[in-house]
Structure 1
């Protein structure tokens, strides 16, 4: 028995409205991700297995970054009114994006993964709205991350303090050895 025509139309309208609502939510979520990110890396991924995709997502999370496969139309709509609006021309083909608040994390992780897996190709990206081509993203990936820079800075700050402590202790140590030597000398005579 066929459904009444009115029911079919109503059902189709309901499906479309849910679909539109879902798309609006996706766009809003993606736009919030773009606004919260310092760096966006656009990639093409063709034929990544579920395991490879899972491995990449895990590496991205460990680096403090995110990785999302998205429809180009939704990504282009989400880019509007963000500082990354100029990236819309990169969204063609099988696109996925890496995002991070750390200026280097997404680029570093995706470039390293792409070196070992030819199914992922870096297309371009942006750092704070400045569009980067593939070589720009690769150059960005070679820079130290914020955590690495912090570690180096702490090391640089601790090195002078350590040297100062050793220098300050050296005269006291020498004086103690001289006194001990003199005491030994007096006891032996």
Structure 2
């Protein structure tokens, strides 16, 4: 990589991190290409990204972002998981790290709040933004369904009474 490519890479990563809500820093020593591809696919499916980084260049890209506090985590073979959803990257990284001990979570940052490994794992247990939206819509729809049922019940009872009266008169 020549100097202009490095500047371009740092600029691109700086913009990407500026748009992200969450950054998770990991060590990936021993992961095979197939495992990395599988992890990237799971991240992409959850709306997150996983990128192997060059430590010195990543530290430059972190400057001026909310994530500058995690620069000391970039030692050794590091990769970052990041997402706009504040839970997606943590959830996928924690699940994958649980299944494959070669991926180690070092820490991360949620905006300007630095998180340790336990913080990332706790964040991973929270429901995602899409799940929360689904729950909210479900809660909003439930009262409407109940109201419709309550309103229809008297009309149904009245119809049954009228039907019974009509049958009685016919007999």
The alignment's TM-score, normalised by the length of structure 1, stands at 0.89
RCO (CA 8 Å, sep 6+): is it higher in 1 or 2?
Answer: 2
Give the Cα separation in 2 of the matches to 1:89 and 1:146: 29
Partner of 1:69: 52
- Displacement after TM superposition at 1:93 (Å): 1.1
1:126 maps onto 2:126 in alignment: no
> Residues of 2 paired with 1:162 and 1:64: CA distance?
32
* Deviation, structure 1 residue 77: 0.5
Match of 1:59 among 33, 42, 50: 42
Match of 1:38 among 21, 32, 35: 21
- 2:120 is the counterpart of 1:174: no
Structure number with larger C-alpha Rg: 1
Distance 2:21 2:69 in 1: 15
Q: Given the alignment of the two structures, is residue 20 of structure 1 paired with residue 3 of structure 2, yes or no?
A: yes
Match of 1:184 in 2: 167
Residue correspondence of structure 1 range 105-144 to structure 2 within 5 A: 105-144=88-127
Deviation at 1:185, TM superposition (A): 1.1
Looking at structure 1, the residues matched to 168 and 107 of structure 2 have their Cα atoms a distance apart, in angstroms, of: 76
Return the offset for 1:162: 0.4
Q: Distance in 1 between matches of 2:68 and 2:98?
A: 28
| Cα distance in 2 between the residues matched to 1:171 and 1:90 | 66
- Measure, in 2, the Cα distance between the counterparts of 1:139 and 1:152: 20
What is aligned with 2:61?
78
> Offset at 1:160?
0.3
Q: Residue 50 of structure 2: SS of its match in structure 1?
A: strand
| 1:84-95 equivalence runs, <5 A | 84-95=67-78
